[in-house]
Structure 1
Amino acid sequence: MATVIDLAYGQKGIIKDFSEHVLPIKLLELGCLPGNSVELVQIAPLNDPIYINLNGSHIAIRRSLAQLIELDIVEETQAP
């Protein structure tokens, strides 16, 4: 199962589920819910925290928390 830390820069995914059902309420309030999109924006120099775009909100989350968010990775298709 892919998680947020498996995304490449600029790659997007759709939140599928959570490895553990304990996520901070603040993340849920910001839209970290199944079916919503997430995009990897940047990773800090020591690989923690991870900067993501979550439904238009840019937030930084710890790597350990990013591992709990399971995704379906969106494959970008090129227009002919």
Structure 2
Amino acid sequence: MSKVNLTISIDDKDKESFNKLVAEIGINTSSAINMFIKQAIREQRLPLNLSLNEKEKNFIDTEKVSEKIMDKYDFAFKELAK
């Protein structure tokens, strides 16, 4: 698998804050961004909660949460069956 460089523009302070955050977690910026991209591809969505409505930010869709939990169990059982 070949690798390519990705160039983005970001505010200096945001970059510094993000670098500190990922360093505290124990990874680097490149790894964190790669994780974000891989999760987005795997889930076919951006792994973010975006909302213009303040009420929606605190809303939890229990049906979606239940589906995600069941998907994780299904995946785990398939892996164990291998």
Mark yes or no: TM-score above 0.5. no
TM value normalised by structure 1: 0.23
- Tell me which structure has the larger Cα radius of gyration: 2
Greater relative contact order, per chain length (Cα 8 Å cut-off, separation 6+):
1
TM value normalised by structure 2: 0.23
More strand by share: 1
More helix by share: 2
